[in-house]
């Protein structure tokens, strides 16, 4: 088939690579989000998908909005058979959905209908799911509601951050997307409607969502920190400034600390929660580099009974 691939972040690159390497399909062009400011200088930088496509000598389309008429006209000129999508980052209008004869097929990082939305992996970690996965489905106008072509499952490991899990799913899902394209071309793969039961939503995690509530149980605190790593980054307040929380671990034998109360040992720093304590393994003070929690605690000279989160 002639394909036009739509994707933007690094997590979409393995799928593009898999399609380029398949040998069965022609990737005629790539659609990605416009260049965005990045770094201290805030200079415009192309998306990871755009950079990979340019390396491969593929035409790159960067519409401000997918309903732009110039973009739609070019898409019609290319006349793709199918448009595979991975984390493109913009809603597709009816006019775009109507162009490829075999539709737009999205690789979504959940077992649909669970975790429909922008942040399925983060929500799976924060909810304490033991198993998640990836699905390929035919895009409709609804939110991740289209019929499903294929799925794969992936264990959520106890120490997984959202970044860890998303990386594994990106590479496993790349194979699933390539296999889905093969099955569609061969006529042996048919999309099955999603069940009406088991629908959960996974909206984008905001900075406010990533603030740790120390009155919650330790397991919930741990899940929030892992689910918000690397982005947007879990955080709390300490002496009026944000302290980013990179890695923590529940400590089952410490129940003597009030929620948010700090306790410092020689090589450890603990915080009380609504159940037992958690140890702060890695943190990042505002304006500084990541550091071990114990090193941070020594540097700021924590007073006995001092709190985070206020």
CATH of the domain at 43: 3.40.50.170
pTM of the model: 0.94
Domain co-membership, 216 together with 257: yes
Q: Which of 153, 175, 202 is where one domain is finished? A: 202
Beta bridge partners, 292, equal 282
Give CA separation, 223 vs 147, 161, 228, 261, in Å: 31, 8, 8, 19
Domain co-membership, 13 together with 162: yes
pLDDT band with cut points at 50, 70 and 90 for residue 292:
very high
Give CA separation, 277 vs 129, 210, 224, in Å: 22, 19, 15
| Count: domains in the chain | 2
Is residue 142 scored above 90 in pLDDT? Answer: no
Q: Which of 156, 179, 202 is where one domain is finished? A: 202
CATH of the domain at 235: 3.10.25.10
Q: What is the pLDDT of residues 27-77, one digit of tens each?
A: 999 999 999 988 777 889 999 999 999 999 999 999 999 999 999 999 999
Domain co-membership, 88 together with 196: yes
Domain co-membership, 127 together with 142: yes
Is residue 84 scored above 80 in pLDDT? Answer: yes
Domain co-membership, 197 together with 233: no
Q: Which of 268, 282, 272, 275 is nearest to 309 (CA)?
A: 272
Domain carrying residue 79: 2-202
Q: Which of 232, 256, 266, 236 is nearest to 248 (CA)?
A: 236
Domain co-membership, 150 together with 291: no
Annotated binding site: 110-113
Q: Which of 162, 180, 202 is where one domain is finished? A: 202
Q: What is the pLDDT of residues 95-137, one digit of tens each?
A: 999 999 999 999 999 999 999 999 999 999 999 999 999 999 9
Q: What is the structure's pLDDT at 122? A: 98
Domain co-membership, 122 together with 193: yes
Annotated binding site for (6S)-5,6,7,8-tetrahydrofolate: 110-113
182, 150 Cβ separation under 8 angstroms: no
Domain co-membership, 40 together with 139: yes
Domain co-membership, 229 together with 187: no
Q: What is the pLDDT of residues 160-217, one digit of tens each?
A: 999 999 999 999 999 999 999 999 999 999 999 999 999 999 999 999 999 999 999 9
């Amino acid at each position: 088939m002639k394909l036009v691939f739509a994707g933007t972040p690094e997590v979409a690159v393995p799928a593009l690579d898999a399609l380029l390497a398949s040998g069965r399909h022609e990737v005629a062009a790539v659609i990605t989000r416009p260049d965005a400011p990045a770094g201290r200088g805030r200079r415009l930088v192309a998306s990871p998908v755009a950079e990979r496509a340019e390396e491969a000598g593929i035409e790159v389309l960067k519409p401000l909005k997918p309903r732009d008429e110039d973009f739609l006209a070019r898409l019609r000129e290319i006349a793709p058979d199918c448009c595979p999508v991975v984390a493109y980052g913009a809603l597709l209008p009816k006019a775009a959905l109507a162009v490829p004869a075999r539709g737009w097929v999205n690789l979504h990082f959940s077992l649909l209908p669970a975790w429909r939305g922008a942040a399925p992996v983060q929500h799976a970690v924060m909810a304490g799911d033991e198993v998640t996965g990836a699905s390929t489905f035919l895009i409709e106008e609804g939110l991740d509601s289209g019929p499903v072509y294929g799925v794969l499952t992936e264990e959520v490991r106890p120490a997984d951050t959202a970044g860890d899990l998303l990386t594994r799913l990106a590479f496993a899902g790349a194979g699933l997307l390539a296999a889905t394209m093969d099955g569609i071309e061969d006529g042996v793969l048919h999309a099955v409607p999603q069940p009406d039961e088991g629908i959960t939503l996974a909206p984008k995690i905001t900075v406010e969502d990533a603030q740790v509530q120390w009155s919650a149980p330790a397991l919930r605190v741990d899940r929030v920190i892992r689910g918000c790593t690397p982005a947007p980054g879990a955080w709390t307040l300490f002496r009026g400034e944000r302290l980013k929380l990179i890695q923590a671990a529940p400590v089952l034998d410490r129940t003597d600390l009030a929620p948010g109360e700090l306790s410092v040992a020689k090589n450890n720093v603990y915080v009380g929660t609504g159940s037992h304590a958690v140890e702060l393994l890695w943190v990042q003070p505002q304006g500084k580099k990541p550091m071990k929690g114990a090193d941070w605690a020594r540097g700021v000279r924590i007073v006995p009974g001092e709190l985070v989160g206020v």
